[in-house]
Amino acid sequence: MIKFINVNKVWPNGKHALSNINLEIKDGEFLAVVGLSGAGKTTLLKTINKFTSINSGDIFIEFNDLKFDVNKLKGKSLKELRKLVGLMSQEYNNIERQVALRNVLNSRVAKMSFLRSLIGYFNKKDKMIALTNLNKLNLLDYAYVRVDNLSGGQQQRIALARTLSQEPKLIIADEPVSALDPILANQVMQDFKKINKEDNITIIINIHHIDLAIKYADRIIGLKDGIIVYDGKPNDLSEEKLRIIYGEDFSK
């Protein structure tokens, strides 16, 4: 589904953010990327939809019959890829004065005609998709509640419902639970796992919580100084391997 071949990213100051990345991500995987701050985790994710351009190497993405050579994408073809990739971050990116349903509906704008988007008209199909995804995440009772009245965990799940209503083939999440307490973080990770398994949506998540990565991910990638130093199953991530990723001072 996604293939990195000898990918390198070098910042203008000469620092290597990514060094000779070779990686294949299969359709339907739940992949967690771990490592210290500055290890290259966010950069890796941003190269997938070309928010960050690489200096050398290749990135190929395939969604069924749609194939993308990311390096060569621009204009309309790049927009087509980005429509298929849902993005999430630790910021909820909700519009607080709007109710939950309207926040979720905002993801449908890219699929609307110019006139419909201009007047903010959402048809029955748009509303059914949004309501279905709110229900999937147990948020239907909050559809007409302003999001500034909701908890952090609920707001992050609204962000996930909005991402799902985009109808993505892939979800990329950059530290989506870092601002949540342990109980809420577990709930949001359960939601990611549910979406991954029930909807067969590939999920790639950057995460600092090693325990959550081990508990929920199918596979873990460990980055250190832009280099993949671990690629394997969560249960195989021993304390010795964690020290390779995080340094000798790491304690589980």
Task: Give the domain CATH number at 123.
Answer: 3.40.50.300
Instruction: Report in angstroms the alpha-carbon separations of 149 from 8, 90, 145, 153, 157.
Output: 44, 18, 7, 12, 14
Q: What is the pLDDT of residue 175?
A: 92
| Local structure of residue 28 (DSSP, 8 states) | T
Asked if residue 251 belongs to a domain, the reply is: no
Burial of residue 78 (CB within 10 Å: 0-12, 13-18, 19+) is middle
Tens of pLDDT, residues 63-109: 988 999 999 999 999 999 999 999 998 888 899 899 999 999 988 87
Number of domains in the chain: 1
Report the SS3 class of residue 194: helix
Asked if residue 252 belongs to a domain, the reply is: no
Tens of pLDDT, residues 28-47: 999 999 999 999 999 999 99
Contact predicate 107/193, CB 8 Å: no
The boundaries of the domain holding residue 62 are: 2-246
Asked if residue 18 belongs to a domain, the reply is: yes
Instruction: List the beta bridge partners of residue 69.
Output: 60
Asked if residue 63 belongs to a domain, the reply is: yes
Burial of residue 14 (CB within 10 Å: 0-12, 13-18, 19+) is exposed
Distance between CA 170 and CA 87 in Å, rounded?
9
Asked if residue 185 belongs to a domain, the reply is: yes
Tens of pLDDT, residues 146-182: 999 998 889 999 999 999 999 999 999 999 998 888 9
Asked if residue 199 belongs to a domain, the reply is: yes
Distance between CA 140 and CA 108 in Å, rounded?
18
Q: What is the pLDDT of residue 221?
A: 97
Asked if residue 44 belongs to a domain, the reply is: yes
